[in-house]
Structure 1
Amino acid sequence: MARFADAAPLVGDRQTLWRTLQTFNFTRVAIALVLLVYLSINAHTGFWLYGDFLYRQACGVYLALAVVGALTTEFWRRHFLLQLTVGIAIDLLLITALYVAAGGAKSGLAILYLFPLAGGAVLAPTVLALFFTALVALTLLLESAWQLLNFTSESTISQAGLFGAAFFAASYLLNRLAARLLKQERLAVEHGTDLRVQQAINQLVIADMRDGVLVLGPDITVLTANPAAERLLGLANVPQAERRLARITWLAPIAQAHAAWSAGGAAASFVMIKPAEEKMAHLRLRFASVDAAVPDNARTVVFMQDVSEIENRAQELKLASMGRLTASIAHEVRNPLSAIGHANSLMIEDAADPVQLRLLNIINDNVGRLNRMIEDILRLSRKAQTGGEPVSAALLVPEIVEEFRESQALRPGFIHVGAMDERSVLFDPLHLREVIVNLLSNALRYASGRDASIRLFMVSDAGRRRELHVQDDGAAITPEVRSHLFEPFYTTSRKGTGLGLYLARELCLNNGATLDYEYRTDSWNHEQGQASGRFVITLAAPDAAVQTE
């Protein structure tokens, strides 16, 4: 075992060997004290072969040298092998002096050699440890031979040989055991280093992921969240102690999806959430359980992907495809459709049969529907890219609502306009008019007809964010329909073209705003705490330099 003779021993090896040598030196101090007390008690006549041997002085010197060695190891950790060799050499010299002076084998002090030899076997290379053992065995044999030459009646050669063999066996076994333990520690240090590196890599990868990762406890408390999840779920300002999905209002859909998955549902699901002061996010969730031996330590990992960008990209591709068809639709469909409509109008004027008149009216309605669809397509292709201009929603919105009410011959009070923020917003006035008219036309199909069946109101905070809500008292849109609500040509009404909401969203995006359908618990004309649906336009605010109060 090379120990510190190796070319490049590990840091863990050095620390272990120095700690062991330090323990060895402190143990030497304790043995020196025990020897001083023991030999003082047994200092009667006949115990020492040489009566003038200064045993107390020898033990005192041994104790002093042991203390010096312990302090040296504590404060000067250099030349490990030199310190070890000097310490064992001092041990062997003083123990040999005591052994010979006390009469050799009959004194029973040969057992003291085991301490330095064991220390050398654990800390020194194999060759050096066996060298120390050989010196002790040779010393025992020489002392026994001397005793045999001078006292023929007391032969101790065999006893010395047994001690030597026992010391060799113990030294070799301890040396091999220490080598194996040191190798195991080296492997543990290497594995620990690899584990820390892998953990750092995992943390870096998870931190840079665009997808969110959550780790939930048994009570659906958020234990860990990567930066993407913090951003998607708006957890940055939520204290760790309060990060329980069931307690955070806007994360209730995730808690419901987790409950459905726990009950045996699909591992993947889609939810819509809107964190505080954030835009609506459409998330794809995938749940995975972490096996744990203890149920209380069970963990669930939630992988979250924001599919809003994918949906927007898909809509852009649809718009690009639709733009390529606009010219041919305008030239190949619009002109024949106008001729059909004109001919149908002439036939209606001359029609006398009620059945024939009903059929002609059906034709006229469908011609009008097709004409509106073409007009919507043409508006999409002609819409200008604009950053909007500062307008006062408090003045413009009531004006648009009044014009719509008059054009639809609605009674006063049917549409209720709530409080409006006096601050300006960025929006092209014509675009805002078209967006609101589209939303009001959609709400008119589903409203009950009572007073204030349709409501428009603004929600604002102390910052720069303002929301315009358009809500009716009809049934809320189901999540299944919600996922396709803004797709081109998607409609649930026989009279709709499927382009109104899509056009409204595109116009909002062109003005730096967003349009979405949300479920809010601040409901009106609904049971307390029950979420109701409404269209929400998140408006952009102008710069402070042009802000009007």
Structure 2
Amino acid sequence: MSATLPTLSAHARDTFWRSLQTLNGTRVVIALVLLVYFSLDGSGLRTAGDLRHATVCGAYLALAAGFVLAGAWYRRRFMVQMLAQVACDLAVISLLYAAGGGVRSGLAILYLFPLAGCAILAPLLLALFCAALVTLFLLGDSAWRVLTAEGDPALLQAGLFGAAFFAAVLVVNRMAARLIGQEELAVQRGIEIGAQQAVNRLIMSHAGDGIVIVGPDGQIHAGNPAAQQMLGVAGALGLRLGALPSLHAIAQAYEDWRLDAAQSTAFVTIKPYTDPAMHDMTAAWDGRRDLAAHLKLRFAAAETGEAGIERNVIFLQDVTAIENQAQQLKLASMGRLTASIAHEVRNPLSAIGHATSLLAEDLHTPVHLRLLKIVGDNVARVNRMVEDILQLSRKAHSHGEPLALAQLVADLKSEFDEVHGLDGAVLDIGRVSAVAVRFDPLHLREVLLNLLGNAVRYASREPSSIRLFVVAASGRPLELHVQDDGPGISPEVRAHLFEPFYTTSSKGTGLGLYLARELCLNNEAMLDYEYRFDRGAAGAGRSSSGRFVITFARPGAQ
């Protein structure tokens, strides 16, 4: 160890200087105690020897104060300052020891103070050298007193003090070296951890996928910018997933994973704009508040060792663009298919329509006319469906006239109940208010017939087992919900729900929901399948359920 501590880190050098200042402060206290001790005696009288001792202690106190100032204002030449202070300590204590009568003065114990400081702050060889000097002085003083017959001979006590000093210096130096090594290791590990954290922050900030770190109770501890953008949680760190209405689907998926670790992947749909706490948070969210985000979630548990802290990581991937790309690829193949079958479908439809017209001229009974009307209406509907398929690639413009939603739903209910033979209470439309929307009536009719047809296949057909209702909030787009009491759609199926030609039914074509969504898009609306929470009868419990939601972008005139 040189005079400037070049081999130590900056933190360790600061530790050595602080230790030296602690030694200086202790020196001031010892000097004050000695000064008071030699300035007064039990009778209040002072001898000439006591005055000399007090003078030495006063000078020692002044030197101690000077060392304090030097260590505070001049942090240079550490070893020079430390050795000068130890030499001063040894000189003063030796002077007092010799003047006090040697071993019988009891001042030999004061040597532990400078020797221990030297053992902590200096190399072992230098500390042992100081201990050897003190031991030689003690033995020399005792030998001199034996030769001069002054006082009691105490060679054995002097030797024992010297051995004790050597042992103390050796033990203190080894302990100090180990502590210094551990501190250096801790500082190095801290630097490495800081560098690793900086790299992790850089990777997380530039990762395209979202990363959210949550606790066992769903509390959000951290999230990268991508996750904050997907979820809109820039100001929600420290909150729980379940406390944010927009993240209920993620909270439910997280709880399901905690109960069954095999469900490490889930697909959810979230709408951050539905959370009042997120309104107008950023211009980006305010601009896309009518859009839903389709997210793929992957859950993983972090290995925290024996820390007793559970941390889980949720990886978020926005699959909306992937779904759109898949739909575009299938749309291209569908376009070629529809172009080839357009005439094959239209020609039989024309023949059926013409035959129906001819039959209407010869048949006049009410039953026959009713059957012919049903045939004609369905021919027109199929023909319109073919036209809609052909218009999908051209993005036909929707009608701009306001549509009375309640009247259309009421007419649709009557026809739907009759065609499917349903009791009037099965399909509940009581919450469809008298509002107007801008939507092509035939397009909306096709969309609702498709959604209700799916619902009637899975519903229990109990009263109100199928519900069609409107959800309206101030300043928010109007929503039309179609919900049934059948089993919900699994996340795996939800991921491909609106893809063309994807179906879970052996009798289906996989085009119904795809066409329904495209018809909504042509009318500047949005069709989606969402998981939402419904409150219990008394508001005491909540149950999550899935439903199809049509979001109207343009309300009509009231």
TM-score by length of 2: 0.70
What is the aligned counterpart of 2:316 among 283, 291, 304? 304
Partners of 1:164 and 1:372 in 2: CA distance: 112
Deviations 1:84-139 (A, max 9, x none): 22221221221122122223344343332232122112112345434433443443
**1:9 maps to what in 2?**
8
Say which SS state the counterpart of residue 326 (structure 2) adopts.
helix
Residue 444 of structure 1 and its aligned partner are, at CA, apart by 5.6
- Residue pair 2:489, 2:546 contacting (<8 A) in 1 also: no
The two structures, once aligned, show a CA RMSD in angstroms of 5.2
**C-alpha distance after superposition, 1:181-217 (max 9, x if no partner):** 2111111111122223323433443344443444444
Residue aligning to 1:359? none
Q: Deviations over 1:430-468 (max 9, x none)?
A: xx55642431332464578999x8857463433xx4134
| Separation of aligned partners in 1, 2:484 and 2:114 | 93
1:13-24, aligned counterparts within 5 Å?
13-24=12-23
Secondary structure, counterpart of 2:499 in structure 1: coil
Report whether the alignment pairs 1:118 with 2:91: no
What is aligned with 2:474?
461
Structure 1 partner of 2:64: 66
Shift of 1:275: 3.8
After superposition, what is the alpha-carbon deviation per residue over 1:362-403, rounded to whole angstroms, capped at 9, x for unaligned? xx999999977765543233336x8x99x56xx245599499
Instruction: Tell me which residue corresponds to 1:190.
Output: 188
SS at match of 2:482: strand
Q: What amino acid maps onto 1:129 in structure 2? A: A
Counterpart code for 1:24 = L
Q: For 1:478, what is the secondary structure of its paired residue?
A: coil
Which residue does the alignment assign to 2:94? 96
Report the alpha carbon displacement of residue 79 of structure 1 after superposing the two structures with TM. 3.8
Partner SS, residue 501 of structure 1? helix
Relative to structure 1, the CA distance from residue 540 to residue 82 in structure 2 (aligned partners, 3 Å threshold; closer, same or farther) is: farther
Structure 1 counterpart of 2:480, one-letter code: H
Residue aligned with 2:296, SS: strand
Change (3 A) 1:522 1:126: closer
Mapped contact 1:418–1:455 kept (Cα < 8 A): no
**Contact 2:451 2:482 (C-alpha < 8 Å) held by counterparts:** yes
More deviation in 137-146 or 26-35?
137-146
AA at the equivalent of 2:148: N
Q: Is the 8 A contact 1:439 1:470 kept in 2?
A: no
Selected match of 1:87 from 85, 88, 111: 85
TM-score normalised by length of structure 1: 0.71
Corresponding residue for residue 354 of structure 1: none
The residue type equivalent to 1:316 in the other structure is: Q
Counterpart CA distance in 1 for 2:193 and 2:309 is 22
Matched, 1:321 2:333: yes
Task: Tell me if structure 1 keeps the 8 A contact 2:211–2:316.
Answer: yes
1:206 — aligned with what? 204
**What amino acid sits opposite 1:436 in the alignment?**
L
Within-5 A mapping of 1:211-290: 211-236=209-234, 240=238, 243=240, 245=242, 248-264=244-260, 266-277=262-273, 279-289=291-301
Look up the match of 2:393.
381
Q: Is the 8 A contact 1:440 1:470 kept in 2?
A: no
Q: Are 1:438 and 2:455 counterparts?
A: no
Match of 1:502 in 2: 514
Q: Which residue of 2 aligns with 1:358?
A: none
CA distance in structure 1 between the partners assigned to 2:531 and 2:112 by the alignment: 82
Q: 2:268, 2:297 within 8 Å by CA — same for their partners in 1?
A: no
**Distance in 2 between the 1:152 and 1:517 partners?**
107
- How many residues are treated as equivalent by the alignment? 505
* Counterpart residue number, 1:178: 176
More moved, 168-177 vs 310-319: 168-177
Distance of aligned partners of 1:38 and 1:455 in 2 relative to their CA distance in 1, 3 Å threshold: closer
Partner of 2:278: none
Kept in 2: contact 1:334–1:371 (CA 8 A): no
Structure 1 residues 421 and 263, CA, compared in 2 at 3 Å: closer, same or farther?
Answer: same
Out of 499, 516, 519, which is 2:528 matched to?
A: 516
CA contact (8 A) 1:3 1:123 kept: no
Instruction: Tell me which amino acid in the other structure corresponds to 1:171.
Output: V
**Compared CA separation, residues 9 and 25, structure 1 to 2 (3 A):** same
> Does the C-alpha gap of structure 1 residues 531 and 177 become closer, same or farther in structure 2, counting only changes over 3 Å?
closer
Q: Is the 8 A contact 2:4 2:77 kept in 1?
A: no
Q: Residues of 2 paired with 1:472 and 1:110: CA distance? A: 94
Which of 375-384 and 175-184 deviates more? 375-384
* In structure 2, distance between residues paired with 1:76 and 1:127: 26
